[in-house]
């Protein structure tokens, strides 16, 4: 058996502004496991504020390249990577890829999914921009076939953001599902004001309205007419803290943040058991992790639109993308394993 890792850096089409700084490249580590005739590829792409740092990810993966390691040894190593979810994602995906290939099934079936899933509905994402630009961007997404659009808000005043969303709703009508993402940008008082003003606009849910560590603030907003979703709270607190507090209606499941596609499916099942809807999204990953997120979404029953249409945010990728985005839905690969080409030689 041969185990290798290789670092990569993928430029974004445009810099991404986050609460943790500007991201211009997605940097990470590919994990390749070759065992006989089978090859498994994983991707570990840390994201500041959500996972460990790149140096911590690198250090966590350093021990797995021993030629003496077997597949069983690597499975055992997953338990030591709980504090480094991106590293665990890279290793667990490579192992799941190779196991699914040996079994001759797509990754989503290896993860416990149904016999056949052809496509997954996806949401479009529109960033913070002027009201006119927001309307144009949402209208373009709807014209492209998206039935669900997520709009980034929270950087402007509540009044200004409500005006943006009212203009969007007036332009696209009532049939389009609108979600909004605040990225923890509101205080509790601002959030309560916003929920009141957003009520007539039929917003599906507000994602992370208050800072990630304010679980009580999320719980305070729940049971209103607009549903509440947690994202950053999963990284800053934990899945257990969010679910045990009964704080949300929707749980954003990022496989890279949770430690792998297997963990994303596991967390989604736990959420469903307590009446919380899981939504799978990516962290602007390369094609290896992005495709695995599609499989994770396919493995979840009664899935809603997922945040999987993020490939265009990269100026360059790890390799060819074999999935297709048509009419707001992304195709699910049916090849054995993850369905991604061996990207090792691709630069």
Is 345 domain-assigned? no
Answer yes or no: is pLDDT of 337 > 50.
yes
Q: Which of 101, 150, 254, 263 is catalytic?
A: 254
Give the bridge partners for 253, in sequence order.
280
**Domain boundary pick from 85, 110, 135:** 110
The answer to whether residue 336 is domain-embedded is no
pTM metric for this prediction: 0.95
Question: Domains in the chain: how many in total?
Answer: 2
The confidence band for 232, taking pLDDT boundaries of 50, 70 and 90, is very high
Question: Residue 295's closest CA among 42, 94, 106, 89?
Answer: 106
Annotated binding site for Mg(2+): 181, 207, 231
Looking at the structure, tell me whether residues 68 and 149 fall in a common domain: no
Q: Residue 184 falls within a domain, yes or no? A: yes
Name the least confident of 223-227, 229-233, 257-261, 277-281: 223-227
d(CA 342, CA 288): 9
Question: Given this model, what pLDDT does residue 347 score?
Answer: 46
Give dist(CA 53, CA 214) in Å, integer: 23
Residues 71 and 123 in one domain: no
Domain span holding position 79: 2-110
Q: What is the mean pLDDT of residues 1-6?
A: 91
Whether 25 maps to a domain, the answer reads yes
| pLDDT tens digits, one per residue of 178-228 | 999 999 999 999 999 999 999 999 999 999 999 999 999 999 999 888 999
**Catalytic hit among 101, 150, 152, 263:** 152
User: What pLDDT band is residue 70 in, cutting at 50, 70 and 90?
Assistant: confident
Same domain, residue pair 146 and 13: no
In this structure, are residues 229 and 279 in contact, taking their beta carbons and an 8 Å threshold? yes
254 is catalytic: yes
49 and 196 both lie in a single domain? no
Is residue 147 assigned to a domain? Answer: yes
Do 75 and 180 fall into the same domain?
no
* Final residue of a structural domain among 110, 128, 163: 110
Q: What is the CATH number of the domain that holds 65?
A: 3.30.390.10
Residue 344, in any domain of the structure:
no
**Nearest Cα to Cα of residue 308 among 333, 334, 322, 289:** 289
Q: For residues 75 and 73, what is the distance between their CA atoms, to the nearest angstrom?
A: 5
156 dihedral zone (left: phi>0; alpha: psi -120 to 50; beta): beta
Same-domain check for residues 152 and 127: yes
Residue where a domain terminates, one of 110, 140, 173: 110
pLDDT above 90: percentage of residues in the chain: 87
**Residues forming the annotated binding site?**
181, 207, 231
138 and 88 assigned to the same domain? no
Decide if 89 contacts 42 (C-beta within 8 A): yes
Is 196 in the same domain as 264? yes
Co-location of 104 and 84 in the same domain:
yes
| CATH code, domain with 130 | 3.20.20.120
Does residue 71 form part of some domain? yes
42: which DSSP letter?
E
- Is there a domain that residue 192 lies in? yes
Beta strands in 177-276 (DSSP E): 177-181, 203-207, 227-230, 250-253
Q: Give yes or no: 101 in active site.
A: no
Q: Do 130 and 187 sit in the same domain of this protein?
A: yes
pLDDT in tens, 286-305: 999 999 999 999 999 989 99
Residue 17: pLDDT band (50, 70, 90) is low
Same domain, 93 and 136: no
Whether pLDDT at 345 is above 90: no
Residues 79 and 10 in one domain: yes
């Amino acid at each position: 058996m041969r185990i290798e890792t290789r670092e990569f850096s993928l430029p974004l089409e445009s810099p991404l502004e986050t609460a943790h700084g500007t991201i211009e490249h997605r940097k990470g580590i590919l994990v390749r496991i070759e065992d006989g005739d089978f090859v498994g590829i994983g991707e570990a792409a840390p994201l500041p504020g959500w996972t460990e740092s790149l140096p911590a990810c690198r250090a966590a993966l350093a021990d797995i390249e021993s030629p003496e390691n077997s597949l069983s040894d690597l499975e055992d190593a997953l338990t030591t990577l709980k504090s480094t979810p991106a590293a665990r994602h890279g290793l667990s995906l490579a192992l799941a890829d190779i196991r699914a290939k040996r079994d001759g099934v797509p990754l989503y079936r290896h993860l416990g999914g149904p016999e056949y899933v052809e496509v997954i509905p996806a949401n479009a994402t529109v960033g913070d921009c002027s009201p006119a630009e927001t309307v144009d961007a949402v209208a373009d997404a709807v014209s492209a076939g998206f039935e669900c659009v997520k709009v980034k808000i929270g950087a402007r005043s509540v009044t200004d953001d409500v005006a943006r969303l009212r203009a969007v709703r007036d332009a696209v009508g009532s049939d389009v599902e609108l979600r909004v993402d605040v990225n923890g940008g509101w205080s509790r008082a601002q959030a309560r004001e916003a929920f009141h003003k957003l009520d007539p606009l039929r917003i599906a849910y507000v994602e992370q309205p208050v800072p990630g560590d304010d679980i009580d603030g999320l719980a305070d907003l729940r049971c209103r007419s607009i549903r509440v979703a947690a994202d950053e709270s999963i990284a800053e607190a934990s899945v257990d803290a969010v679910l045990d507090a009964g704080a949300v209606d929707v749980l954003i499941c990022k496989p890279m943040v949770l430690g792998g596609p297997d963990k994303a499916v596991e967390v989604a099942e736990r959420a469903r058991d307590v009446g919380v809807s899981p939504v799978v999204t990516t962290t602007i990953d390369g094609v290896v992790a992005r495709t695995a997120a599609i499989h994770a979404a396919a493995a979840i029953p009664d899935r809603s639109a997922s945040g999987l249409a993020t490939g265009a945010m990269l100026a360059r990728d790890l390799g060819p993308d074999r999935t297709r985005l048509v009419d707001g839905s992304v195709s699910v690969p049916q090849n054995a394993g993850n369905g991604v080409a061996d990207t090792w030689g691709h630069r």
